[in-house]
Amino acid sequence: MKNRIFKSVFIFALAISFVSFTTVKEKVIKVKDSKVTWIGHKVTGEHTGTIDVKEGILIFSEDQLAGGNFTIDMTTINTTDLSGGGKTKLDGHLKSADFFGVEKHPTATLVFSNVTKKGDDYLVSADLTIKNITNPVKFKLTMDGNKATTAFKVDRTKYDIKYGSASFFDGLKDRAIYDEFDLNVTLVF
């Protein structure tokens, strides 16, 4: 009995010493220096734009990325390949209930659920929430000093964004909008 108690105390003390030597740091994302760009594809071309990062953190254990999360301000959707009335019209349509419904859903979030070091990069599994609907996504994240970058595709139909989707509506022909859009993310911390 005494031997078991001694072993338990020893294991507990060893575990505490491991925890005390592991440094976990949260690094706040500098939102003014960070950037999210998007590309939406359609049969006849594409549109490009930006969305602002609202807040976020990256979590490091020792010097290795261990987790993170960030929030996007969906009210800042901005088309960059158009100007004038065309830009105003598309920006308004993207913010409407047909697409992102920013009045009811002003933010989107990405929360890392698993991070694995793979060579010089990280493989990240995360939960992406848009319009209060959460789906898993996976992507490669590259770290360079105080900057993290990634690019991945998002299937908008998984977030109940079906407007102009040939997967749901027949007869769209050259007015069809592809289900996937590209996100390019640069986070500075």
Count of C-beta atoms within a 10 Å radius of residue 30:
14
Q: What is the pTM of this model?
A: 0.85
Query: For residues 65 and 126, what is the distance between their CA atoms, to the nearest angstrom?
Result: 14
Residues 30, 46: Cα–Cα separation, whole Å: 29
Closest CA to 181 of 1, 41, 36, 15: 41
Say if residue 164's pLDDT is above 60.
Answer: yes
Confidence of residue 166 (pLDDT cuts 50, 70, 90): confident
For the chain, domains (ranges, CATH) are 24-188 (2.40.128.110)
Residue 17 has pLDDT above 70, yes or no: no
